[in-house]
């Protein structure tokens, strides 16, 4: 299948600043972008962007915003090929002991900005999931717990909410579900990393609120990373990852080093549906 993606983001700035944005499709999916033009990312006014890859392998860019700009607008549009397969499910995937894990996964066992592994959640996790079969079943049990405990509410979004806050407050948005699930996985010695990207309403009823970027997580089981989503808690079709990190602090879609106001935020994620063929009468 083909998926049309894009965004339109406008920020008002009061003084010269630097803007870092992490909005390109992740390099692991770059080959799936259709057309010679690829992604059509534009910056208005036209400002130079320095592109680089961060320590997690994400495509990032830095923009020097001079005096007098006032507003900066970022737009993108692309069509991405996707298999149309739902998230992989493997009930037989196992958990390895930390002594035997690939060293590149070990950073995803440690506490991070929003994931307080070294908190009361550590003992809670072992109390709740210590008797669940290790591996896939244990990660799924964690997702079930978070999905049932936390209520989704856009109006309650808060940038400072940590996993422990989510557990106590029992409300949040997709990043909050993700942070709590990641933390509980790490408490159980399962490497878990944060992912953000596009997730449209493909194969499911349309959600009754504006499209947004989504957050989910990946757990390392056996010899690979598997996708899990405590917010929706069902395999989904059409995830297009933008960035991965330890938690949301590593993958902000935009970061400005100065006062700014978000004035426009629109995200597009939809399946490209071919127009039906029109039969023509003979002789026309």
> Tell me: the pLDDT tens digits for 197-245?
999 999 999 888 889 999 999 999 999 999 999 999 999 999 999 999 9
Distance, first Cα to last Cα, the chain? 33
pTM of this prediction?
A: 0.94
Dump pLDDT digits (tens) for 15-74: 999 999 999 999 999 999 998 888 989 999 999 999 999 999 999 999 999 998 999 999
% of the chain at pLDDT higher than 70: 96
Average pLDDT of the chain to the nearest whole number: 94
Q: Is the pLDDT of residue 279 over 60?
A: no
User: What is the separation of C-alpha 71 from the centre of its chain, rounded to a whole number of angstroms?
Assistant: 26
Note the pLDDT of residue 276: 61
Q: Which domains does the chain have, with CATH numbers?
A: 2-84+252-271 (2.60.40.2250), 98-246 (3.10.620.30)
- 96 φ, ψ (degrees, to nearest 5): -100, 155
| 3-state DSSP assignment of residue 262 | strand
- With 70 as the cut, is the pLDDT of residue 280 above it? no
In this structure, what are the phi and psi dihedrals at residue 172, rounded to the nearest 5 degrees? Answer: 170, -170
Say whether pLDDT at 275 is over 80: no
Question: By three-state DSSP, how is residue 149 classified?
Answer: helix
Other CB atoms within 10 A of residue 51 CB:
9
Can you tell me the distance from the alpha carbon of 159 to that of 166, in angstroms, rounded to the nearest whole number?
12
Q: What is the DSSP letter of 86?
A: B
What is d(CA 92, CA 103) in angstroms, rounded to the nearest whole number?
23
pLDDT at 277: 56
């Amino acid at each position: 299948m083909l998926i049309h993606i894009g965004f339109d983001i406008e920020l008002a700035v009061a003084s010269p600043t630097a803007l870092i944005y992490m909005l390109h499709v992740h390099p692991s999916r770059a080959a799936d972008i259709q057309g010679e033009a690829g992604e059509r990312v534009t910056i208005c006014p036209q400002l130079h962007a320095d592109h680089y890859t961060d320590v997690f392998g994400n495509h990032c860019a830095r923009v020097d915003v001079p005096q007098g700009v006032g507003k900066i607008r970022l737009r993108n549009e692309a069509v991405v090929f996707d298999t149309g397969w739902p998230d992989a499910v493997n009930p037989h995937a196992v958990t390895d002991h930390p002594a035997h894990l690939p060293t590149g996964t070990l950073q995803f066992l440690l506490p991070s900005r929003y994931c307080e592994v070294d908190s009361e959640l550590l003992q809670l996790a072992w109390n709740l999931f210590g008797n669940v079969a290790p591996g896939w079943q244990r990660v799924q049990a964690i997702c079930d717990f978070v999905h049932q405990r936390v209520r989704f509410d856009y109006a309650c979004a808060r940038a400072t909410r940590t996993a422990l806050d989510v557990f106590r407050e029992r409300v949040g948005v997709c990043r909050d579900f993700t942070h709590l699930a990641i933390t509980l996985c790490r408490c159980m010695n399962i490497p878990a990393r944060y992912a953000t990207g596009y997730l449209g309403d493909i194969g499911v009823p349309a959600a009754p609120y504006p499209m947004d970027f989504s957050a989910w997580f990946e757990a390392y089981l056996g010899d690979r990373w598997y996708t899990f989503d405590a917010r929706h808690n069902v395999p989904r079709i059409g995830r297009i990852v933008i960035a991965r990190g330890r938690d949301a602090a590593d993958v902000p879609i935009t970061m400005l080093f100065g006062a700014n106001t978000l004035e426009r935020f629109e995200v597009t994620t939809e399946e490209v549906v071919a127009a039906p063929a029109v039969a023509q009468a003979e002789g026309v």
